[in-house]
């Protein structure tokens, strides 16, 4: 067995599933030099720590971190949908319809990333800010610029953040100053970015490439075909795109592809819907599309912060129905599409959005909550409210599954890699909202953190056992 380089004695909280939250009190945890969890033993009294470490032949000089009352460990957060270039435009254009917002706010901002120096400056702030908020893994959309996307990949690797890195593909329906000249140019630059990512992290231990057609509106059929061919040729490549984000977007998409009546058939015809697909938003779902996503095994990136502020309407995705049907769901911040890059905020707003769905679609006479006529929109029918345990699962283990890292992260267990947050609810950290009481148990502390905490309560962040942020 590999020698440990650090040990912890702490209360651990993680999700085993969307319905099973596990608390491991007074747990003795040892981590290897490569960041893997070697041993995990709960219910260890402080007086027994030295003896147990000695029984495990662990050297007495191995650093031991003992968390205090009011502190606990949780898995690192996974942001399944984030537009990296939009870091500096968050909060702008609230309430605008999605396509108008892209034209007036987003495309001019993303065009600035033609300058690699601008990319270096912004992406340094982005990655540092994400780690500070406990996001240890992110699925990033870059701009359409290859060099800027390579800067993003190198920045993530240097800072120690796990990430999927994708150069955005868009060869039509965008301003001349922000549109690729051809599908061939877009594919060539995509291949160059993939080579760069794999060149600086050959094993994909931290960063991996992801194919990133922005959406069908901005991609010609030739470009979508070529990306689908790449996905078929290399089954290790993840795929990310926007899917059924808003009525305006859906109508525009289907007008460009009149041979299709829904986005599921459209994207699957190009080979872009697989078990490696990360579909952002999915707010307006028909029964037919819901079934197709289940059959194809696609993952969903739920982005409540953005869906409730940009897009033209309060768009509350049928997340409870996804979970009922076994669809993998993670949380995304969407960055510029909302007002916050915090997944703590994302968890809160996922709860609020689910309460709105429950109020909009009440269950009558014990009816079928998932009933839908003639393949029409899935409207629920009651039972739409998410629990705190479910949103916490989506921010951690569920998100890890969506982005393809479920064999490495998302929870605590021997053989998993140690991506974790030290959460501190004590007064001395300077948070003003959390009201910690002496008799608060672990579940109550987690609830208070999710509902009232912020980045001040995240005092240390680990990725693969390495400290990547510390107050």
Give residue-wise pLDDT tens across range 352-372.
999 999 988 865 433 343 334
Contact (CB, 8 A) for 464 and 157? no
Q: How confident is residue 315, by pLDDT bands cut at 50, 70 and 90?
A: confident
Q: Give the tens place of pLDDT for each residue, 41-61.
A: 999 999 999 899 888 878 778
The dihedral sign for the CA sequence 125, 127, 128, 132: positive
CATH architecture group of domain 77-361+381-403: Alpha-Beta Barrel (3.20)
Q: Give the tens place of pLDDT for each residue, 219-230.
A: 999 999 999 999
What is the token pair recorded at 406?
Answer: 């479920």
**Domain regions of the chain by residue span:** 4-75+410-470, 77-361+381-403
Please report the pLDDT score of residue 368 as a whole number. Answer: 40
Contact (CB, 8 A) for 137 and 165? no
Of the listed ranges 27-41, 176-190, 309-323, 370-384, the least confidently predicted one is 370-384
Residues β-bridged to residue 240: 278
The average confidence (pLDDT) of the chain is 93
On the question of pLDDT at 331 being above 50, the answer is yes
Please report the pLDDT score of residue 309 as a whole number. Answer: 86
Of the listed ranges 88-92, 155-159, 213-217, 324-328, the least confidently predicted one is 88-92
Q: Compute the average pLDDT of residues 270-298.
A: 97
Q: Compute the average pLDDT of residues 112-128.
A: 98
On the question of pLDDT at 381 being above 80, the answer is no
Please report the pLDDT score of residue 60 as a whole number. Answer: 75
Q: Compute the average pLDDT of residues 393-413.
A: 98
One of 2.30.40.10, 3.90.1150.10, 2.60.120.10, 1.10.10.10 is the CATH number of 4-75+410-470, namely 2.30.40.10
Q: Compute the average pLDDT of residues 149-158.
A: 98
Residues 422, 414: Cα–Cα separation, whole Å: 19
% of the chain residues with pLDDT over 90: 83
On the question of pLDDT at 275 being above 80, the answer is yes
On the question of pLDDT at 349 being above 60, the answer is yes
Residues 448, 463: Cα–Cα separation, whole Å: 24
φ, ψ at 450 (rounded to 5°): -65, -40
């Amino acid at each position: 067995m590999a020698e440990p380089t650090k040990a912890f004695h702490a209360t651990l909280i993680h999700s085993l599933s969307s319905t099973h939250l596990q608390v491991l009190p007074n747990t003795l945890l040892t981590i290897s030099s490569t960041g893997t969890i070697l041993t995990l033993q709960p219910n260890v009294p402080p007086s027994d720590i030295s003896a147990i470490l000695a029984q495990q032949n662990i050297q007495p000089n191995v650093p031991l971190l003992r968390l205090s009352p009011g502190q606990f460990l949780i898995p690192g957060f996974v942001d399944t949908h984030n537009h990296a270039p939009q870091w500096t435009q968050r909060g702008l254009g609230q309430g605008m319809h999605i396509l108008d917002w892209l034209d007036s706010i987003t495309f001019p901002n993303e065009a600035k990333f033609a300058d690699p120096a601008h990319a270096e400056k912004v992406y340094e702030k982005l990655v540092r800010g994400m780690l500070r908020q406990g996001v240890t893994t992110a699925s990033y959309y870059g701009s359409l610029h290859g060099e800027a996307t390579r800067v993003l990949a190198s920045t993530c690797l240097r800072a120690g953040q796990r990430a999927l890195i994708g150069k955005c593909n868009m060869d039509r329906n965008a301003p001349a100053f922000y549109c690729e000249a051809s599908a061939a140019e877009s594919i060539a630059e995509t291949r160059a970015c993939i080579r760069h990512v794999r060149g600086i992290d050959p094993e994909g231990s931290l960063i991996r490439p992801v194919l990133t057609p922005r959406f069908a509106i901005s991609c010609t059929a030739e470009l979508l075909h070529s990306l689908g061919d790449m996905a078929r040729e290399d089954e290790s490549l993840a795929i990310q795109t926007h899917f059924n984000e808003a009525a305006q977007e859906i109508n525009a998409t289907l007008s460009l592809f009149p041979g299709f009546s829904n986005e599921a058939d459209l994207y699957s015809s190009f080979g872009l819907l697989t078990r490696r697909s990360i579909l952002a938003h999915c707010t307006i779902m028909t029964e037919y599309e819901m079934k197709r996503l289940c059959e194809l095994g696609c993952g969903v990136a739920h982005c409540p912060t953005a869906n409730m502020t940009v897009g033209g309407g309060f768009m509350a995705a049928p997340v409870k129905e996804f979970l009922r049907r076994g669809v993998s769901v993670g949380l995304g911040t969407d960055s510029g599409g909302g007002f916050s890059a915090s997944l703590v905020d994302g968890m809160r707003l996922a709860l609020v959005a689910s309460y709105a769905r429950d109020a909009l679609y009440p269950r009558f006479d014990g009816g079928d909550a998932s009933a839908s006529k003639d393949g029409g929109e899935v409207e629920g029918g009651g039972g739409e409210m998410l629990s705190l345990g479910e949103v916490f699962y989506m921010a951690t283990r569920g998100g890890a599954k969506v982005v393809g890292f479920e064999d490495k992260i998302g929870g605590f267990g021997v053989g998993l890699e140690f991506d974790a947050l030290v959460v501190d609810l004590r007064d001395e950290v300077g948070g003003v909202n959390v009201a910690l009481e002496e008799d608060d148990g672990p579940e109550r502390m987690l609830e208070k953190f999710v509902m009232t905490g912020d980045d001040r309560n995240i005092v240390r962040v680990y990725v693969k056992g390495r400290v990547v942020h510390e107050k």
